[in-house]
Amino acid sequence: MTTDASARSGGAERRRNLALVLQRVHVAPATRSELTRESGLNRSTVGTLVADLAARGLVVEDEPAAGGQVGRPSPVVRAGELPVAVAINPELDAVTVALVHLGGEVLAVERAPFRAAPSVEDTVRTGADAVRRLLAQAPERRPVGAGLAVPGVVRPADGFVRLAPHLGWRDVPLADRFADALGLPTAAANDAALGARAEGLFGAGRGVADLVFLNGGASGIGGGVIAGGVPLTGAAGHAGEFGHMIIGTPGGVDTLGVHGTLEAAVSRAALLRALRLEHATPEQLEAALVASTDADVARTVAVQVDALASALANVVSVLNPARVILGGFLSALAAVAGERLDALVADRALPGIGERLEVRRSELGSRIMLIGAAELAFAPLLADPSAYQPR
């Protein structure tokens, strides 16, 4: 009995150590020496763990150039390329799907546009068809699961969409629908919360324990919070709906019909109207705003920057993050605003907090929701690599 208990304990410890190594390499490549130092494990144990992960196709070892070092250089361990996550981001005007490697690298993307807000059925059918096309083009890849980044209120436990007001969806078992269509385990979460996770791992939030992420998309404004290195989810898992925060700015209504919210005052649609554009990616929108000399565009930008600064000042005073990261069209707005946005936030936030804040633009650009969605699909693998069997 003691032997059985010891075996179980040893097996659990090995699973934890395999997960520890894979999670570290998932964030960034590391040498065996770095893995040994950071994990606290001995060198031979790290070597055995890396060999196990490599045999499963989860990591690859590259011999580094000597570079003038004394002695034999330590091999560099990086994430393997055969396992992929299917990432899906339904939006008001399109559903975008991608295959994403471990390490947050987007392998292939397909965007299927819609002329009007899509139904759930249209989204699942169109998205699943796009996924099948991408997988057919990469037959050597092994999908481990699918992740959905949804612009709405999502129950993380089962991927049930309680409300996606921009899309007109309510009480939809979206993860189950896609799981049936794809034949893959599927999870779903709020898109902006996943964006916060992606930026924290691979983008402008690396190394920051306390950050707030706000994303602006076709469906409005959402956000996510990392506090003490841990996602702040709230009692029901829906924390971060900054778009519906009331800031008292006059204007229209948001997608819930509420006056005076951030989303009512700061909108992608208003920027596109001022620029006389029907559609633009965040990168295209930024280029158009920077290049514009139109007075109406300048006025629209000024009003939106002022409203955004008020919202950020509230966020900073309440949550005291070290960094606020802006994504989507909010990143484009920040690019045009320059130092004016920083100055307004510092002036309106609680003294002693606003001056120490860093406002950064997303480093992941239009890939951010896909990278975040992939994290949902990779989560079981990263938690227990020993359960993964190579084809």
178-184, Cβ contacts within 8 angstroms, sequence gap of 24 or more: 178/88, 178/124, 178/127, 178/128, 178/146, 178/148, 179/146, 181/124, 181/125, 181/127, 181/128, 182/86, 182/128, 182/131, 182/146, 184/86, 184/143, 184/145, 184/146
Torsion of CA 167, 170, 175, 177, to 10 degrees: -90
Residues 356, 211: one domain? yes
339 and 226 in a single domain? The answer is: yes
Q: What number of other Cβ atoms are within 10 A of residue 29's Cβ?
A: 17
3-state secondary structure of 152: coil
The predicted model gives 267-296 an average pLDDT of 92
Number of domain units in the chain:
3
Output the six-digit token pair for 277.
């554009």
pLDDT in tens, 293-338: 999 999 999 999 999 999 999 999 899 999 999 999 999 999 999 8
Q: Which of 32, 55, 79 is the last residue of a domain?
A: 79
Both 221 and 356 in one domain: the answer is yes
Give the confidence band of 48 by pLDDT, cuts at 50, 70, 90: very high
Helix or strand or coil: residue 388? Answer: coil
Nearest to 168 by CA among 241, 90, 235: 90
322 and 348 housed in the same domain: yes
Residue 10 has pLDDT above 70, yes or no: no
Task: Look up the pTM and report it.
Answer: 0.86
**Over the stretch 155-203, which tens digit does the pLDDT of each residue have?**
988 999 998 988 999 999 999 999 999 999 999 999 989 999 999 999 9
* Cβ atoms within 10 Å, residue 148: 31
Looking at the DSSP assignment, which residues form a beta bridge with residue 100?
85, 106
Separation of alpha carbons 390 and 175, rounded Å: 25
Looking at the structure, tell me whether residues 286 and 233 fall in a common domain: yes
Q: Is residue 122 domain-shared with residue 182, that is, in the same domain?
A: yes
Domain limit, last residue, from 38, 62, 79: 79
Residue bearing tokens 């893995």: 35
Cα–Cα distance measured from residue 358 to residue 204, given in angstroms and rounded to the nearest whole number? 11
Is 295:183 a contact under the CB 8 Å cutoff?
Answer: no
Instruction: Enumerate residues 6+ apart whose C-beta is below 8 A from 355.
Output: 346
Q: Tell me, what CATH number does 219's domain have?
A: 3.30.420.40
Predicted pLDDT at 58 = 95
Q: Average the pLDDT over 52-63 and give the result.
A: 92
How many CB atoms are located within 10 Å of the residue 226 CB?
Answer: 24
Interatomic CA distance for residues 261 and 105, integer angstroms: 35
Using an 8 Å Cβ cutoff, are 313 and 349 in contact? yes
**Pairing between strand 186-190 and 142-150?**
parallel
Give the domain CATH number at 6: 1.10.10.10
Of 42, 62, 79, which residue constitutes the final position of a domain?
A: 79
Domain that holds residue 245: 207-363
CA 57 to chain centre: 25
Residues 88 and 46 in one domain: no
